[in-house]
C-alpha cells in the first residue's frame, strides 16, 4: 500500500513536471514575445518620422500705446509734449508640427499652429527648410493645409480611419515638443468622443481622441499614429492645470472618412488650381 502511495506521488510529480515544461514558454519564445512589441514601435517610428515636419511661423503684431516713446524721442524737436499715442511692432515666432500627406508637398497641421502667420516655413527630417504657403485653414474645426515646393517627390503618410480604432489601442505621437524634433511617445487611446472647451471658453472642440501618449507644446499639428503606421489623429491640445505640461491627458482630432474626404478634396482642388 505504501509502495502504491509512493508510486502515485512520484507519478503525479512526473506528470506535473511534464505539464510545466510543456506549457512554459521556452527562453527563446519568451525573448521573442518581449522583443515583438518594441520591434513594432521601432518599425512605426522608422516609417512615420520621415513624413513628420517642423513648422515655424512668424507674425507681426502692431500694438497701440500712449506715453513717452523713448525710441523716437528727439529732445531738440519742437514736437511737444513728448507724451502721445505711438505704435510698436512686435515679431512673434511659434513652433508646431505637421505631417506630409502627398508627394507634392502638401502638409496637414492644426489651424491654430499657422493662424495669423505672415511667414510659414517647414523643416523636413533632413533639416532642410522650405517656405510654405497656406492652402486652407478651415478644414473642420482646427485643421489646415500648407504646401511646400521641395523640387522632388516627398514621402507621404498613410491616413487611417479613427472610427475603427478602439479604446485601449496603442497610440504613438510624433512631433516637435519644445522644439525637440522627431520626438516619439507611446501610449494608448484613452477615450473617444471627448468634448473639450478652450481655456478662454470661446471655442468647443468635439469628438476628440484622448490619449496618454505624452503630448506637449510643439506637438500640435503632428500625427497620432496606430501600430499599423496609419495616422488616426492630428494632435491638438493637452489638459494641463496651470500650464505645467503633459500629465497624461492629450487630445487629437480624429482622422476618419469625413475628414479624409475634406483633406484630399482640398489637395485635389489646389492641385487643379481651383
| Torsion angle, alpha carbons of 124, 128, 131, 134, to 10 | 0
Residue 40 annotated to the active site: no
- Residue 112 annotated in active site: yes
DSSP letter string over 78-95? S---SEEEEEEEEEEEEE
Determine which one of 142, 176, 190, 226 is catalytic. Answer: 142
User: Among the options 94, 97, 176, 220, which is catalytic?
Assistant: 220
Q: Which of 112, 137, 176, 212 is catalytic?
A: 112
Instruction: Please report, for residues 42, 183, 219, the alpha-carbon distance to residue 187 in angstroms, rounded to integers and kept in the order given.
Output: 14, 14, 15
Phi then psi for residue 138, to 5 deg, are -135, 45
Indicate the burial class of 240 (C-beta count within 10 angstroms; 0-12, 13-18, 19 or more).
middle
User: Active site includes 93?
Assistant: no
Distance (Å, rounded) from C-alpha 199 to C-alpha 188? 25
Active-site amino acid positions: 112, 142, 220
Amino acid at each position: 500500500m505504501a509502495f502504491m502511495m509512493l508510486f502515485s506521488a512520484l507519478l503525479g510529480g512526473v506528470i506535473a513536471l511534464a505539464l510545466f515544461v510543456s506549457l512554459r514558454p521556452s527562453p527563446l519564445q519568451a525573448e521573442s514575445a518581449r522583443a515583438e512589441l518594441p520591434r513594432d514601435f521601432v518599425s512605426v517610428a522608422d516609417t512615420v518620422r520621415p513624413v513628420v515636419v517642423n513648422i515655424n511661423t512668424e507674425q507681426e503684431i502692431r500694438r497701440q500705446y500712449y506715453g513717452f516713446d523713448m525710441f523716437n524721442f528727439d529732445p531738440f524737436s519742437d514736437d511737444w509734449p513728448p507724451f502721445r499715442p505711438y505704435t510698436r511692432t512686435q515679431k512673434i515666432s511659434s513652433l508646431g508640427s505637421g505631417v506630409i500627406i502627398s508627394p507634392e508637398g502638401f502638409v496637414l497641421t492644426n489651424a491654430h499652429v499657422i493662424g495669423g502667420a505672415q511667414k510659414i516655413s517647414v523643416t523636413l527630417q533632413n533639416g532642410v527648410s522650405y517656405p510654405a504657403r497656406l492652402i486652407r485653414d478651415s478644414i473642420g474645426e482646427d485643421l489646415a493645409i500648407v504646401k511646400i515646393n521641395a523640387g522632388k517627390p516627398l514621402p507621404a503618410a498613410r491616413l487611417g480611419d479613427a472610427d475603427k480604432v478602439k479604446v485601449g489601442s496603442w497610440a504613438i505621437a510624433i512631433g516637435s515638443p519644445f522644439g525637440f524634433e522627431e520626438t516619439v511617445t507611446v501610449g494608448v487611446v484613452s477615450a473617444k468622443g471627448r468634448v473639450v472647451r478652450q481655456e478662454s471658453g470661446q471655442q468647443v472642440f468635439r469628438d476628440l481622441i484622448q490619449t496618454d501618449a505624452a503630448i506637449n507644446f510643439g506637438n500640435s499639428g503632428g500625427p497620432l499614429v496606430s501600430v499599423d503606421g496609419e495616422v488616426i489623429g492630428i494632435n491638438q491640445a493637452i489638459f494641463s492645470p496651470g500650464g505645467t505640461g503633459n500629465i497624461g491627458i492629450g487630445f487629437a482630432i480624429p482622422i476618419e472618412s469625413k475628414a479624409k474626404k475634406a483633406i484630399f478634396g482640398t489637395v485635389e482642388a489646389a492641385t487643379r488650381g481651383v
